[in-house]
Amino acid sequence: MDTVTEPEPLFDLEPATAAGPDFAELARLPLRELMAPDWADALAGVEAELRSVLSFVAGEEAAGRRVLPPASNVLRAFRQPLNGVRVLIVGQDPYPTPGHAVGLAFSVDAGTRPIPRSLANIYRELESDLGLPPRIHGDLGAWADQGVLLLNRVLSVREGGAGSHRGKGWETITTAAVAAVAGRRTADGKAAPLVAVLWGKDAESVRPLLGSTPVLASAHPSPLSASRGFFGSRPFSRANTLLEQQGADPVDWELPAVPARQLPPRSLG
């Protein structure tokens, strides 16, 4: 049987600080150079909107405003195949602190110290739920590698300006992404195994897109709200139970003590 080789992505996933294409270049590139092929197919219907929001972000950059995460990671959530997604975790927008945002909701660069307080609370609940020790790093890439889609509703932010890129077009893209994840079907026409984990009101806004997908909803892990229903919600063990009930393998939520070496993105050319 002939093997079809997909084109390699333009850049690897890591690290957030490496040089790579800028946002103006991203806005001109074919979708299949920006994300996994099945994601490119799924998001083709909002390609014009994606190019528009990337052009907006390019304008921010051209005006001397620092945008986070860098262009090389802004679409990182779509680099793992859509077909492999088992768990959807929805965040708000990227961390506005330089060096923190890496293109995956709640995750930070492996060298970031201290880790953000929301992520520290996620680790606290992970230990309470599954007995897994917290890590000193905040790299959640190992979850993404297993089909956990860590998707922010808004995929970029101005440095120091939390929420500064809301209402600029990203919501259209991520709405299409959530609908694509929830709309997948197996060969026999059944819904593909999926569990949605919704923390906080922003995440809850996608619930109408999820159809019959099992949903685990609670307060956001932020220090402002974690004590109002996030702690004790046991999302990790409950997600695995729901996956197994759908005939899917559970997620190994234990993160490596030391993240895998991060490789710089390949350059354009």
Active site residues: 93
Evaluate the CA torsion angle 82, 85, 90, 93 in order and state its sign: negative
* DSSP letter assigned to residue 64: T
**Residue 216 exposure: Cα atoms within 13 Å on the Cβ side:** 21
Measure the CA–CA gap between 20 and 18, rounded to whole angstroms: 6
| Three-class secondary structure assignment of 90-138 | EECCCCCCCCCECCCCCCECCCCCCCCHHHHHHHHHHHHHHCCCCCCCC
**Residue 97 exposure: Cα atoms within 13 Å on the Cβ side:** 11
SS3 at position 208: helix
